[in-house]
Amino acid sequence: MRFNLLAQDGAARRGRMEFARGAVETPAFMPVGTYGTVKAMTPEDLEGIGAEIVLGNTFHLYLRPGLEVIKAHQGLHRFMHWRRPILTDSGGFQVWSLAKMRKLSEEGVHFRSPVDGAAVFLSPEESMRMQRALGSDIAMSFDECTPYPASEDEARVSMQMSMRWALRGHREYYLTEPPGTLFGIVQGGVHPALRLESLDTLEQIGFAGLAVGGLAVGESESEREGVLDHLLPHMPKHKPRYLMGVGRPQDILEAVKRGIDLFDCVMPTRHARNAHLFTRTGVINIRNAVHQNATGPIEEGCGCYTCRNYSRSYLRHLDRCGEILGSHLNTVHNLFFYQRLMVEIRAAIVAGRLAGYASEFYALKAGAAG
């Protein structure tokens, strides 16, 4: 991976990550393909709405279909028919989300599989071996996502173990020529001193990129933004910065203003399957009766395939009948909305008018609410 910083507007950055499989313009949003598929979308659909990188989940792909199946396809790209870059999560989020099914130790994490109850073991070394087998372009360090709330002492114990795991994983990943590059994950909860200690440790290890983990797990917006305000000025400018799991449009905009380059979230795809559709003025519920006879698109002026060809009335009809096409068309729109947002943000940074863009963004929402 090569990262080039192309423009700045205050702390906001316009950049480009270059891989053998193509470039990713940043700030960028990654659609989430947990099981090797972005739900309801083909790879051609994703390329059509402008996606340049997707996310896969190591833990879930390990459970199903299993690494041997993916190895037989020479990696995740061929298995899922996606020719562009892929980032794989390490499985560390499952350390947090499956807390009731795990046993945590310095060695790693013992799980009971949520699929069949079978015993599963994840360690920094095993996570790296799994991600190497997947052949992802960006692999993520194996860590513990510190729960919220956590006292400073609790967060310190968690963070320092994650840093020991980061060193072990880094050594394992680079034992031989790796298929991609490895990002470290800054932990430390909402405690500024711990975040800086974590960042310093990761820099000493020598990761090619850095993520901010352990946010969007229950903390308030002000706490999350406070962490970013304190941490990001200390992060190296020549490395990409990834804010994990944060995905409301306004959260993305606020994080970009503070210097984040890369995002992922299940929100646009999950919302689509639940009939919640993004527009510039807010989220609409296509199930509401007001859309019964609406012959216009989800959003006037939207260039997505769905809005060019289908009415809100038709989308409501599909949803009420449980038709699969409804989930597909809703997902096309929501992911297009997110990719358009990133295109506009990048253009605003280059033009030196991100503050003005943000004001317009919030004014539209406020006007609709009023």
List, by residue number, the catalytic residues.
89, 264
Q: Enter the tokens of residue 310.
A: 């289908």
Roughly how many angstroms between the first and final C-alpha of the chain, as a whole number? Answer: 46
Dihedral sign of CA atoms 154, 155, 156, 157 in order? positive
Alpha-carbon dihedral 241, 37, 218, 140, rounded to 10 degrees: -40
Question: Cα–Cα distance between 143 and 92 in angstroms, integer?
Answer: 5
Q: Are 332 and 306 within 8 A, CB to CB?
A: yes
The values of phi and psi at residue 222, to 5°, are -65, -35
Strands (E), 90-177: 102-104, 109-112, 119-122, 138-140
Residues in the chain: 370
Question: Cα–Cα distance between 13 and 235 in angstroms, integer?
Answer: 13
Question: Cα–Cα distance between 144 and 160 in angstroms, integer?
Answer: 10
- The dihedral region occupied by 358, where left means phi > 0, alpha psi between -120 and 50, and beta the remainder, is alpha
Dihedral sign of CA atoms 32, 34, 40, 41 in order? positive
